[in-house]
Amino acid sequence: MTDNAFKSGYVAIIGRPNVGKSTLINRVLGQKLCITSRRPQTTRHRILGIKTTDQSQLIYVDTPGIHSDDKRAMNRYMNRAAASSIDDVDVILFVVDGMNWTDEDDKVLERLKTSAKAPVILVINKMDKLADKEVMLPHIEKLSSKYDFNTVFPISARRGINIEQLEHAIEKLMPEGELIFPEDQLTDRSSRFLAAEIVREKLFRHLGQELPYSITVEIEQFDDENGLFRIGAVIYVERDGQKSIVIGKKGELLKSVGKDARIEMEKLFGCKVFLRLWVKVREGWGDNERMLKNLGYNDDM
């Protein structure tokens, strides 16, 4: 293998919910691809983020957080999507939240011990929030004893600290190869999918603590009319009482969600967007395997 050979391969980003996996992939790509919020379990699907340079094409796999609650069909789907991403990749990034090691981190680590075939880099995120930097080294030494990690990187995905060094470390572990995707492609997901995710993110940001987990979004219309995107999105809730919450008093909450989503879509798609939102009730969608598949929650995606 020569030092200047082109490299390509897949990088799985795994970890428990809310450790900053989506923020990390957005930072690496240099633009927003994956939705984020302060609430855990925002990410529900596997999403590929593709970064191509003169030296390499690294394909990052953003996954739902692995967690222990598998009572609902939605949670079982997310766990399957995350766990399956460990297979057939070239590098695994195990992301943890600063000094906060939990039982759920132990569960992710157990999955790695039984399933991981690729080298694993431990990524300790949110280190910019650590007031006393002197406690970092003992913490790294403690975590390093838990598994034979290839290396350990303290980073801040939000502030971009140590990200370039992490990318170099990933690239060194990659095999030589050709382009897997066209060099200008950013993701494997469609514009329809990204539009639905943007609406869902805005709902997470505008609604309360629990309701977003009872919501999903389906794009019913996506038309390109000479540089104007006409998008129609249906927001599904599980109960009648939730519909009025999403709409808000005199429709104000839904209007705010639509405005914020439209602005972000115009940035992403680079054109004017006309967005219409509807709210409908589909009882028990989050705990019905068939409904989940009909709404696009497929394990092979």
pLDDT at site 64: 64
Among residues 161, 170, 49, which one has the least CA distance to residue 121? 170
Q: Could you tell me which residues are beta bridge partners of residue 230?
A: 223, 274
Of 161-170, 186-195, 223-232, the poorest mean pLDDT is in 186-195
Q: What average pLDDT does range 42-58 have in this prediction? A: 82
pLDDT at site 123: 97
Answer yes or no: are the C-beta atoms of 19 and 98 closer than 8 Å: no
Q: Where are the alpha helices (DSSP H) in 93-156?
A: 103-115, 136-144
pLDDT at site 115: 84
CATH 3.40.50.300, applies to 7-173: yes
Q: What average pLDDT does range 21-39 have in this prediction? A: 79
Q: Could you tell me the pTM of the whole model?
A: 0.76
Look at phi and psi of residue 162 and say left if phi exceeds 0, alpha if psi is from -120 to 50, else beta: left
Answer yes or no: are the C-beta atoms of 271 and 197 closer than 8 Å: no
pLDDT at site 111: 86
Tokens in use for 221? 């219309």
Of 89-98, 129-138, 174-183, 292-301, the poorest mean pLDDT is in 292-301
Structure-token match 């593709």, residue found: 50
pLDDT band per the 50, 70, 90 thresholds, residue 75: low
Round to the nearest angstrom and report the end-to-end CA distance of the chain: 33
Domain limits of the chain?
7-173, 191-294
pLDDT digits (tens, 9 = 90+) for 255-278: 999 999 999 999 989 999 999 999
Q: 191-294: same fold as 7-173?
A: no
Task: Indicate the angle between helix axes 191-206 and 252-269, nearest 10 degrees.
Answer: 140
Homologous superfamily of domain range 191-294: K homology (KH) domain (3.30.300.20)
In the sheet that holds 228-237, the strands lie side by side as 216-224, 228-237, 272-281
pLDDT digits (tens, 9 = 90+) for 196-234: 989 988 988 888 665 656 788 889 999 999 889 999 999
